[in-house]
Amino acid sequence: MSLQEQLAEDMKTAMKDKESGKKRLSVIRMVRSSLKNVEIDKKKELSEDEVIEVLAREVKKRRDALGEYVKVGRQDIADGLQEEIGILIKYLPEQMSEEEVRSLVKGVIAEVQPTGPKDMGKVMGKLMPKIKGRADGKLVNQVVKEFLG
């Protein structure tokens, strides 16, 4: 079953759950809307990789907003965002651990042979397609900087 089909099925289930599924229903509807907008923009049906990309982008938006709401003391909104992130992460591939990211970065650095921090773009260019939605970009960026710095 594709991710889009899974989202449709989960939306039906959330509708049947009435009160207990309200948050899940609204998050799934929002994601399906985002997916539909991307399909309209690209004028084609999305592949699984493209769907994962959109889901990862939605999680990233929420993580970025979460930090801002915590800074200004709006824990109620931050809790809601955390719940949304939890719902969305279930649709992404299993996230890589920091050790797995470090191992992958080591391999790419050995392959690219960077001369210093100025070659970060080359390393990230080779690395990101291999990770694609399976790790947080901030973590990857931090690990690469650590190795190149």
The ranges assigned to domains in the chain are: 3-89, 98-148
| Phi, psi angles (nearest 5°) of residue 115 | -95, -10
> In this predicted structure, what is the pLDDT of residue 29?
95
Question: What percent of the chain shows pLDDT beyond 90?
Answer: 46
Residue with tokens 């938006």: 61
The mean pLDDT of 58-63, rounded to a whole number, is: 91
| pLDDT band for position 72 (cuts 50, 70, 90) | very high
The CATH code that applies to domain 3-89 is 1.10.1510.10
CATH architecture of the domain covering 98-148: Orthogonal Bundle (1.10)
CA-to-CA dists, residue 87 to 20, 78, 107, 116, angstroms: 13, 14, 32, 39
| pLDDT band for position 13 (cuts 50, 70, 90) | very high
> In this predicted structure, what is the pLDDT of residue 131?
83
Domains 3-89 and 98-148 alike in fold:
no
Q: Quote the tokens at residue 134.
A: 């399976």
